[in-house]
Amino acid sequence: GDDAVGYRGVTACHAVGISYRQLDYWARTSLVVPSVRDASGSGTQRLYSFRDLVVLKVVKRLLDAGVSLQNIRKAIEALRSRGVEDLAGITLISDGTTVYECRSPEEVVDLLQGGQGVFGIAIGGAFKEIQGSLSHLPAEPAVVSGQEPAAAVDPVGDELAARRARRRAG
């Protein structure tokens, strides 16, 4: 599943195209908090889920498009409760001020016809980009204190892990 493996901060930065400083700031200000494992003191590593990386990519795209951090926070709050499959079906449209969530092509067209939309982010596209980036980046089992690593139960539980296993096997 989504939480069977986690990605360290450096890996998240490479996959998403942001600096470690940005990632750290976003985690400390609770914009995007790692859902697998947050830092709990000096020397501990944050672990981000695949879903977290998709949300990070969306934040980066919204910032690049000039949306304020305040409006990005509102958009991310709306996305936070969604599962990965739900996220893949959403397109975010923004006029640079407000961020609208669209679930169908008709909703996108309605917004554009109403003059609200200036740019859109198909989260499914970000999803695919992150999958491609992660195909050559390391992941590690997500260990919850006192439990076996989730990946130990199902070592190739997700598509990316299966690809990596096939690549290592030759």
Chain mean pLDDT for the chain: 78
| Structure confidence at residue 13 (pLDDT) | 95
Which of the two residues, 167 and 79, has the higher pLDDT score?
Answer: 79
Instruction: Please report the domains of the chain, with CATH numbers, ordered by start residue.
Output: 5-144 (1.10.1660.10)
Rounded to 5 degrees, φ, ψ at 89 are -95, 5
Beta carbons of 59 and 32 less than 8 angstroms apart: yes
What's the pLDDT band for 39 if we cut at 50, 70, 90?
A: confident
Buried b (16+ CB within 10 A) or exposed e, 55-80: bbbbbbbbeebebeeeebeebbeebe
Secondary structure of residue 154 in the 3-state scheme? coil
- pTM for this entry: 0.71
Segment 152-169 shows an average pLDDT of 54
Query: Does 157 have pLDDT greater than 60?
Result: no
* Weakest-pLDDT range from 58-62, 77-81, 150-154: 150-154
The CA distance from 9 to 17, in Å, is: 12
Per residue in 94-137, pLDDT tens?
777 778 888 888 888 888 887 766 777 878 888 888 888 888 78
